[in-house]
Structure 1
Amino acid sequence: MIKFLKKYKAFFIGYIVIIPIFYFLDYIDLIILPEESTYEIIIFALIWGFLIALPIHNFNYLKRKQKTVLQVLGLFLLFFITVSIDSIMSLPDNPITFILLMGFWFGFAYVLIPEFIKKYWKLITLIYVPLLLYFIYLRLFSGDLEAYLKIKEEFPFYVFFLPIPIFFLVWLFEQWQWLQNLKAEKAKTEISLLRSQINPHFFFNTLNNLYALTVKNSKQAPEVILKLSDMMRYTIYEGEKETVKILDEIDYLNNYIELHKIRYKKSVEIVFNYSNIDTSLNVAPLLYIILLENAFKHGVETLSENAFIYINLYDDKDFIYFKIENNFDSKEKQESNGIGLQNLKRRLSLLYKEKHELSIDKTKNTYLATLKISKHA
């Protein structure tokens, strides 16, 4: 609570100082406070207290924006000139005062939301210029003061204020749209960052293995170079797309599996079944590789023999399923899944929101991950 009060103390200051200012101006006859309209005084106090608080609250910002400060000071000067003219002339509904006050409020709106005023200035002009001209006609050309006051009782002067809440709602809608776009851009940026963090150590390990193969003059070296090149090309170019053909993802996973087989001297059973998948389907790129990578890292690499990885990729009417099961050495200390699985969960929440499901089932020495993605996401 204290932190909140400190942060917004400017508004409390604004509301505290505005009351004595009001009564001082009333005392020197610059303004007339209605004695029987307490609610009216409260409303004006809230509005002016807020206006006084704004520059105090944004003092550090205003120090950097000298042009804005000068504009605000100029507007307050215009207001006091308007009040002084109204006090000296003592004319009910003085047209000069009316025009200057409209200039003050539109000027203040321009300082606060310049882009909005620039965007809708034609509409604002179209609404308010006819209203202003009609008011001037009634005030100056409809007869004497008594005739005007009689007309005023019947004329709905609230029409001058009616467009304000409408413009305010339009402004709120634009702010909401801006916020939604900002969230979308942030999500795209975050997705791009998460993609860039995918399995870099795999490429480094493969390059080290490739170096060993070239030193030995192994016949496998060209095959490794080709597969690694395909994978890097896919990661860099296809990985930037929103969706790819699932067949391309399958080829990518197969290349990954084949490169790992070259690494291991031990026997590893790897079965990748994708015969029951419609290969024309689209899916976000580089999702399944995280789960496959974890199966090697936390499964195959912990076992000296009898390691296996079983992968099943299939679809039904509504969903695409990716199931991957591997065994591991329960005696080995299991490290956390690290950034890879966290990134996968974050990407899924950004790309598929509520239209996906990732479940992890772990027994004493087996690990089963199931990723279910809606076809209609």
Structure 2
Amino acid sequence: MIQFLNKYKAFLYGLIIIPIFYLLDYFGFIILKNTPLEVILFAVFWWLVIALSIHNFSYLKSKRKTIFKVVVLIILFTTALVIDSTMNLPDNPITFILLMGFWIGFAYLLVPAFITKYWKLIVLIYGPLFLYFLYLRLLSGNLETYLNIKEEYPFFVFFLPIPVLILIWIFEQWKWVQNLKAEKSKAELSLLRTQINPHFFFNTLNNLYALAVKNSKEAPGVILKLSDMMRYTIYEGEKETVKLSDEIEYLNNYIELHKIRYKKSVEIIFKYDIDTDLVVAPLLFIILLENAFKHGVETLTENAYIHMEIYQENNLIQFKIENNFDPKEIAKSNGIGLQNLKRRLSLLYNQEHELIVEKTDDTYKAILKISIHA
């Protein structure tokens, strides 16, 4: 929101036109005899002129061609005023055409992309209105007849499409903000994915080196599992969703590689009773499993356990993991893995998830619930 206000603060500055209008009327420089709706429409119009000029000031300042166009527009506007004052005709068609050219050129100068994108819509709206004006002014009869028609049907109708164009422009800016947020979320997700399990791969490589030195028969299996995990992290991890079967295989490989590290007895139970064709965002469960090893199994010399389960309940995918730990051990980690997980869940599932963490003196339990329809 702050970023949006900073980008469009010029439109707040443009509101200065309101007190200026009343000051000019107070000192007699202008006379506000129009209907309230006309006054509002004229005020909105000049507010946009001032705001867009300020908003695009840097653009105008840095472009020589733009300055030349501004000079041309000023000449066009001055010519229109001179002709209007010289001929002294009410709603002079020549003046009207020159002023229309001026305002169209001015709008294109300030928001060229918008005018280029919606020029067909602008022609569709203003073309018939302009032809209607020419018909009434030149073909409906004498000047008195035209003035009577104008009094009965004021020509402020020419400004009625302006709110429509303003709303379209505001919608364009809203889309820009939403796209900016989406791009920011994608960038954050990409960064968060790169933070997943880097030290695990280094530790596994060290273990693999030790197995290779010993000519262990386990080495080829470890290489294959590590290769599968690295492939999954690099390629599948970039996808928006993956099948649960792939996530489960990834978790099983992680568990098997960890078992090689420990000479102590560790009870690891992993159950899953769920449709494995369901899809989730990749690499969500691994952080909780990694924490169970790092802050649980590695702190205990005996009787360590990890109980893990994936199941479906109430239209939710539920992942539950529990482990014990040594309360005397002080965790050196700052919890970046869990922060990472919470941030990813917020970006990916917003209100369609729930993460519950329960901690006792020597046990830690986490339950992650994700809506199947999220």
| Residue 339 of structure 1 pairs with residue 341 of structure 2 | no
Matched residue, 2:197: 199
> d(CA) in 2 for partners of 1:163 and 1:43?
10
| Residue 214 of structure 1 pairs with residue 212 of structure 2 | yes
Matched residue, 2:92: 94
> d(CA) in 2 for partners of 1:45 and 1:130?
24
- Determine helix, strand or coil for the equivalent of 1:364: coil
| Residue 11 of structure 1 pairs with residue 8 of structure 2 | no
> d(CA) in 1 for partners of 2:333 and 2:96?
71
Shift in alpha-carbon separation, 1:80–1:260, aligned structure 2, 3 A = same
Matched residue, 1:174: 172
User: Structure 2 length as normaliser, TM-score?
Assistant: 0.86
Q: What is the percent sequence identity of the aligned residues?
A: 69
Gaps of 5+ in 2: 1-5
Shift in alpha-carbon separation, 1:37–1:176, aligned structure 2, 3 A = closer
Q: 1:153 aligns with which of 151, 154, 168?
A: 151
Gaps of 5+ in 1: none
Conserved in 1, the CA contact under 8 Å of 2:268 and 2:307?
yes
> d(CA) in 1 for partners of 2:278 and 2:51?
58
Q: 1:241 aligns with which of 239, 242, 266?
A: 239
Q: 2:372 aligns with which of 351, 372, 375?
A: 375
> d(CA) in 1 for partners of 2:211 and 2:121?
73
**Greater CA deviation, 254-263 or 72-81?**
72-81
| Residue 266 of structure 1 pairs with residue 264 of structure 2 | yes
- Listed one character per residue, the Cα deviations across residues 210-258 of structure 1 (whole Å, up to 9, x for unaligned) are 1121122122111110110010111112112221111111110011011
Matched residue, 2:299: 302
Q: Deviation of residue 337 (structure 1)?
A: 4.7
Shift in alpha-carbon separation, 1:11–1:177, aligned structure 2, 3 A = closer
- Listed one character per residue, the Cα deviations across residues 20-63 of structure 1 (whole Å, up to 9, x for unaligned) are 9969xx99xxxx72276697789757754663465456544433
Q: In the TM superposition, what are the counterparts of 1:1-377 in structure 2 within 5 Å?
A: 11=13, 15=17, 33-34=30-31, 48=46, 51-52=49-50, 54-56=52-54, 58-274=56-272, 276-377=273-374
User: Structure 1 length as normaliser, TM-score?
Assistant: 0.86
- Listed one character per residue, the Cα deviations across residues 269-297 of structure 1 (whole Å, up to 9, x for unaligned) are 111111x2222221111110000011111
Conserved in 1, the CA contact under 8 Å of 2:52 and 2:110?
no
- Listed one character per residue, the Cα deviations across residues 194-222 of structure 1 (whole Å, up to 9, x for unaligned) are 22221111111111111121122122111
> d(CA) in 2 for partners of 1:145 and 1:8?
42
- Determine helix, strand or coil for the equivalent of 1:227: helix
What code does the residue aligned with 1:353 have? N
Q: Deviation of residue 118 (structure 1)?
A: 1.7
Shift in alpha-carbon separation, 1:131–1:55, aligned structure 2, 3 A = closer
> d(CA) in 2 for partners of 1:41 and 1:155?
16
When the two chains are superposed, the root-mean-square deviation of aligned CA atoms in Å is: 3.1
- Determine helix, strand or coil for the equivalent of 2:259: helix
> d(CA) in 1 for partners of 2:108 and 2:312?
56
Matched residues, number: 365
> d(CA) in 1 for partners of 2:267 and 2:364?
15
Conserved in 1, the CA contact under 8 Å of 2:264 and 2:302?
yes
Conserved in 2, the CA contact under 8 Å of 1:313 and 1:320?
yes
What code does the residue aligned with 2:365 have? L
Conserved in 2, the CA contact under 8 Å of 1:18 and 1:49?
no
Conserved in 2, the CA contact under 8 Å of 1:17 and 1:49?
no
Shift in alpha-carbon separation, 1:8–1:164, aligned structure 2, 3 A = closer
